[in-house]
Amino acid sequence: MIADSTQNVKPMPIKSAKEKTDEAVRSIAKFQTGEIAPISTGFEWLDKHLLGGFLPSTIMTIGGLSNHGKTYLMQKIENSVIDNNTDVVLLRCNWESAVYKLLLRKITQKTDMKMSEVLFNTPHGDNLTVIKDICEQERRDGLYYYEEPVTARQFGDEVAEFLQSNMDKKVMITIDHVGLVKGREKGEIDALFEEMNKLKKNHPYVFFLPLMQLKRDLLDRVGNHPSEAPRQLDFYGSDQLFQLSDLVLTVYNPYKVGATGKYMVFSKFAYQYVDEQFIEEGGGKYNHFIPEGNYFYHMLKSRDIEDMEGFEDVWVEKLFDVRQPEEEEKNPQQVDDTLNDIL
């Protein structure tokens, strides 16, 4: 009996220019007709660097020191995407934080409460209503957790299976954070980005938002104003990360690590697009940023930026004011009743 030579034959990896050009033309036509549209990050300054928002196959990497706001920014982007796009499936590769802390952060972003207030005080009125709504949103179909860190190869295999079961959906995949990939060597981080690069080519609309820790060498430059901002060499495993990411930015709180009075020094003609409340005149030709109370977002790579002349590589956000909540006498039964009401 002659074996069927067509069985177990892999698709030819090399394709003609005509075939790929026709495929590209069809993709562009879908944008022109509105069949495919960018998915906004919720931040206008970020969307400008992404041709309007997340497009199919986008990899946007956020870097930062521990406890400097990486997860905070990721959650705000997640919230914007899933709150405004019911056709998006979200896979959270939540390798660091406990899920209840992620829920707490979302509640504090949507209410006037601090984490400690949510945990140790009974919510009332509008806050209780918002918390119940948030919990219902988090229970919705289309939200998934992938909580155990794995090797890059396992990640590729298991996420490929997940994507195969969601071929008719738009899929957002967030990773917090890639430094926890099993193996942890530089090569394993590079391998994880290579897996993301493979996965994005086999799904019609998937985009990735991985988080990455920065090296603590950054702290040695605090106060060295010409070079104190985060840069590419501050990332672990930065080779493949920078090659394969479409956009790379960092979240940085310089005041938290000892920068006082001034952060960076630059020409008075630079950063004129930044709100003047974040800039202080230094006299003469130079100004500087005010570090106290501010987050700084540094754009290190933007593959699709159209206006290089007007490239905005720094964005500043005012931190929330620190409030001292009034002590409230807690009734255990009332707390239990409220929790049951939410659940």
CATH number of the CATH domain containing 152: 3.40.50.300
User: Average pLDDT in the 150-175 region?
Assistant: 93
Task: Establish if 284 belongs to a structural domain.
Answer: no
Supply the range of the domain harboring residue 72: 37-95+147-253+296-314
Q: Would you state the pLDDT for residue 23?
A: 82
Q: Would you state the pLDDT for residue 248?
A: 95
Q: For residue 20, what are its two tokens?
A: 């790929």
User: Average pLDDT in the 197-218 region?
Assistant: 92
Task: Establish if 175 belongs to a structural domain.
Answer: yes
Q: Would you state the pLDDT for residue 208?
A: 96
Task: Establish if 240 belongs to a structural domain.
Answer: yes
Task: Establish if 48 belongs to a structural domain.
Answer: yes
Task: Establish if 320 belongs to a structural domain.
Answer: no
Share of the chain above pLDDT 90, in %: 34
Task: Establish if 169 belongs to a structural domain.
Answer: yes
Q: Would you state the pLDDT for residue 117?
A: 77
Confidence bin at 72 (pLDDT 50/70/90) = confident
The total number of structural domains that make up the chain: 1
Task: Establish if 63 belongs to a structural domain.
Answer: yes
Task: Establish if 329 belongs to a structural domain.
Answer: no
More confidently predicted of 138 and 176: 176
User: Average pLDDT in the 134-139 region?
Assistant: 76
How confident is the model over 271-317, as pLDDT tens digits?
A: 989 998 899 887 788 999 999 989 999 999 988 776 666 678 999 99
Q: Would you state the pLDDT for residue 310?
A: 64
Q: Would you state the pLDDT for residue 321?
A: 43
User: Average pLDDT in the 188-197 region?
Assistant: 91
Give the predicted TM-score (pTM) of the model: 0.81
According to the 3-state scheme, what is the secondary structure of the chain? CCCCCCCCCCCCCCCCHHHHHHHHHHHHHHHHHCCCCCECCCCHHHHHHHCCCECCCCEEEEEECCCCCHHHHHHHHHHHHHHHCCCEEEEEEECCCCHHHHHHHHHHHHCCCCHHHHHHCCCCHHHHHHHHHHHHHHCCCCEEECCCCCCHHHHHHHHHHHHHCCCCCEEEEEEECHHHCCCCCHHHHHHHHHHHHHHHCCCCCEEEEEEEEECHHHHHHCCCCCCCCCCHHHECCHHHHHHHCCEEEEEECHHHHCCCCCEEEEECCCCCCCCHHHEEECCCCEEEECCCCEEEEEEEEECCCCCCCCCCCEEEEECCCCCCCCCCCCCHHHHHHHHHHHC
Comparing 72-76, 135-139, 196-200, the range with the smallest average pLDDT is 135-139
